[in-house]
Structure 1
Amino acid sequence: MIQLLGIKSNCDIDIRQKFSIVASRLEHSLKSIKNIIGSVVILSTCNRTEVYLDSDLEGEQLINSLFEVLNWDKNLIDNTFYIKDKDAVKHLMEVSCGFHSKIVGEDQILGQIKTAYESAIKAGSVNGKLHRLFQYAVTCGKKFKYTCEIYKIPVSIPSIAVREAKIRNVRSCMIIGFGQIGKLVLKYLNQLDIERIYIVVRDLNKVSFEVKKDLKIKAITFKERRHYYKDVECIFSCTSAPHEIIQPEELPKKEFVIFDLAVPRDVNLNVGKLINVKLYDIDSISKIDEKNKNKRKEHMKKYKYIVQEYTDEFTKWQSICELSPEIQKIKKYGTKISERRIKTFINKRHTKDNEKLVRTMIESTAKAYINRAIDVLKEEKIKGNEEECIKIINRIFCNDNIK
């Protein structure tokens, strides 16, 4: 059964980070859940942690098992939501289209869903149903993106942060962490008249030659970053570290605007109490551009039918899959009947009238099914169910498309 345990969207960042699964622990978490509970894909981003499962466990039993495996605090269980079957499927389709994002309609989520799916494949934690579900979700998100054309009303956490930096006339910046979010920040900064950008990474090889050859950009190591704080007016921190990396005592006494784009937090909250520092976290950034967000919401509603379309398609596929054991039985029965007659034909193939023998064999094969259908029809007539039975038998046998 497809099920989902997720963190409620109204939880603030302090709660969300208690459920966050950092990249370094993801593979271990996936394998642990697979071994104990069932097939799993974990979608863990700065705004959400959602665990998609196909498991025989369900309800309270599944939730408790998941909290134990992931070492989550059960006192926080009220901050989670649990849904299953079609509701869970529909939720994922909505997520892939950006309906549940902090910045509604942002398309980063589609890449994050792909990454979550690929991580589960790598860990060997995903089965046939979840394979198909996430393939449908990615296709749904792509169709929504290009049909809805929501990108014509651009807004995302990195773009809002950079726009706020522009309003503050920032001329020099530091980007700590150069993953997907860090690269987006650089993309938006490059559209502004920024004089100097420092990119902080643990491994300088992670910054491409194309980026390094830009004269206004300097790549520095994580250990070097503190020496350059004095040279910047703005810091964008977006690492996947499980702990805080910026403390108040390490910052020079000068004006800063700092955007903490990470979950768990990169920046100690006391940094925001410094007189000369303006600190934004994910939640405060997402509240900045309400006008554009409302415009996107209204536009997206017109294309909600795409979510329903893919939800229904997956549900149909899943229903047909549930018939698989019965289909295999029918095929096995057909093979049994044909093998019997092939054996008879081999034994009698030297008869004088081969045409008559072939006709007899083919007719007896057809009769094997027809006689069984007649027996079932008689049984259902006695039970008073003959009308539905006649409809099904007519669809099977009285069909001009039979080849």
Structure 2
Amino acid sequence: MIQMIGLKKGLDLSIRGQLTVAKSQRGEAIKGMLEFCQEAVIISTCNRTEIYFNSQEDSTNSINRIFSVLKWDEALIKYIFHLNESDAARHLMEVVCGFHSSILGEEQILGQVKEAYNYSLEEGAVSGALQRLFQNAITCGKEFRTKAKIYDIPVSSASIVVNYAMKRQCKSFMVIGYGDIGYLAVKYLLSHGVSKVYVVVRNTKKITDLVDNRVKIMDFKDKNRFIHKVDCIISCTSAPHYIIKKEDICEDKKLLIFDLAVPRDVEAAVEEYSKVQLLDIDTISKIDDENKKLRKERMEGCREIIKKHLAEYEEWSKLRDILPYIKEMKRVSEKVSKDRIDTFINKSETKDHRELAEVLIKSTSDFYVNRAIEVLKEAKLEGSEEQCLKIVEKIFKLMT
């Protein structure tokens, strides 16, 4: 049974920070879940934690075991919602299309879902119904974004904070972390023609795509030497601890700080400095731009795409029990065809081609007709011919 748990909307950032799964912990978490689930995918981003799994256990047991595996405080269970089967499938498809993002229609979620799915795939954690659901959902997300033309109205936390900073005349920036959001932030900053961007990462050798004399790449131990040189900091790491503390900031320096991380990267105490403005991910989500209404109209107009892909998944789910029989039917069909092709090849030099083809084609037809006759006779003798007749009638009407 496909199930999922996620965080209820409107939770305080401090609570959301306790219900995350760091990338470094994801492998162990999935391994633990597979002890009681058949499949598992963990989506954990700066503003979302959702866990999809395939298990026959009821919701209460599943949630308790997941909390135990992830070492989450069970007192926080009240902040979790749980969905089953079609409700879980519909939710995932709405997620990949951007309906449940704090910034409506934001660009990163589809890529984040794909990354989470691919990770579970590599770990052998998806192989059945959950695998099919994510494949359908990712396809749905791609079609939705193409048809809704969300790319015409670019929106992400990175684009919002850069636009906000540029309106406040910020000239030099420090971007801490170079994942999806950090990458986009640097891209937007350079396109706006900023004078300097300091990029802070754990391993400077991994950054090979930033060839620009306005960019200086450094590791964490050097960042405090340059903080006083920037007008704005954009922090977006997955660190479990503070990256910037109050003592790292100069009290007399006017500074705009965006903390896009969950858990938080920046100690709240830095706001005690009168010249520092600190905005967290929740505040940034409220800023949004004037295109929000247009995005919503376009997205609502494309909901049929979600319905279509959800129907495809549900049809597959209903039919999956007979898939082994379909596979076996195709195997038999291929064998029948191969036997006759081999016969044609072997006898084509000694027989008339037209006559040989007619014989082999008729023998192929006879193979299935004779088998249908045998099954019908067996059904008659067992007293179940009525249902069998209906099936045979449908098959042969389709074949005419």
- What whole-Å deviation, never above 9, does each CA across 1:194-217 have from its counterpart, x for those lacking one? 111111111111221x41x31111
Aligned position for 1:146: 146
Is residue 206 of structure 2 the alignment partner of residue 206 of structure 1?
yes
Q: Tell me how large the CA RMSD over aligned residues is.
A: 2.5
The answer to whether the 8 A contact 2:376-2:389 is kept is: no
The answer to whether the 8 A contact 2:110-2:141 is kept is: yes
- Report the 3-state secondary structure (helix = DSSP H, G, I; strand = E; otherwise coil) of the residue aligned with 1:32: helix
Is residue 225 of structure 2 the alignment partner of residue 219 of structure 1?
no
Deviation, structure 1 residue 273: 2.6
- Report the 3-state secondary structure (helix = DSSP H, G, I; strand = E; otherwise coil) of the residue aligned with 2:103: coil
Aligned position for 2:274: 275
- Report the 3-state secondary structure (helix = DSSP H, G, I; strand = E; otherwise coil) of the residue aligned with 2:226: helix
Aligned position for 1:347: none
Aligned position for 1:287: 286
**Counterpart pick for 1:369 among 362, 365, 375:** 375
Deviation, structure 1 residue 365: 4.0
**Take 1:329 and 1:223, find their aligned partners in 2: how far apart are those partners?**
62
Deviation, structure 1 residue 323: 2.4
Deviation, structure 1 residue 51: 0.6
Deviation, structure 1 residue 364: 6.3
- Report the 3-state secondary structure (helix = DSSP H, G, I; strand = E; otherwise coil) of the residue aligned with 1:19: coil
Deviation, structure 1 residue 136: 1.1
Deviation, structure 1 residue 400: 5.1
- C-alpha spacing 1:364/1:303, structure 2 compared with 1 (3 Å): closer
**Take 1:188 and 1:75, find their aligned partners in 2: how far apart are those partners?**
41
Is residue 245 of structure 2 the alignment partner of residue 247 of structure 1?
yes
**Take 1:297 and 1:275, find their aligned partners in 2: how far apart are those partners?**
37
Aligned position for 2:316: 317
- What whole-Å deviation, never above 9, does each CA across 1:221-275 have from its counterpart, x for those lacking one? 1100001111111100011111111111121121110000111110111122321
**Take 1:390 and 1:308, find their aligned partners in 2: how far apart are those partners?**
35
**Take 1:82 and 1:286, find their aligned partners in 2: how far apart are those partners?**
24
Q: Quick one: which amino acid aligns to residue 235 of structure 1?
A: I
- Report the 3-state secondary structure (helix = DSSP H, G, I; strand = E; otherwise coil) of the residue aligned with 2:21: coil
Tell me which moved more, 294-303 or 321-330. 321-330
Aligned position for 2:231: 233
Deviation, structure 1 residue 31: 1.1
Matches for 1:3-402 after TM superposition, within 5 Å:
3-208=3-208, 210-211=209-210, 213-253=211-251, 254-289=253-288, 291-324=290-323, 365-375=371-381, 378-379=383-384, 391-396=390-395, 398-399=396-397, 401=399
TM-score (normalised: structure 1): 0.85
Deviation, structure 1 residue 289: 2.1
In structure 1, the gaps of 5 or more residues are 339-354, 381-385
**Take 2:42 and 2:320, find their aligned partners in 1: how far apart are those partners?**
24
The answer to whether the 8 A contact 2:107-2:155 is kept is: no
- Report the 3-state secondary structure (helix = DSSP H, G, I; strand = E; otherwise coil) of the residue aligned with 2:33: helix
Q: Quick one: which amino acid aligns to residue 163 of structure 2?
A: R
Q: Quick one: which amino acid aligns to residue 221 of structure 2?
A: K
Percent identity over paired residues: 42
**Take 1:121 and 1:366, find their aligned partners in 2: how far apart are those partners?**
41
- C-alpha spacing 1:401/1:290, structure 2 compared with 1 (3 Å): same
TM-score (normalised: structure 2): 0.86
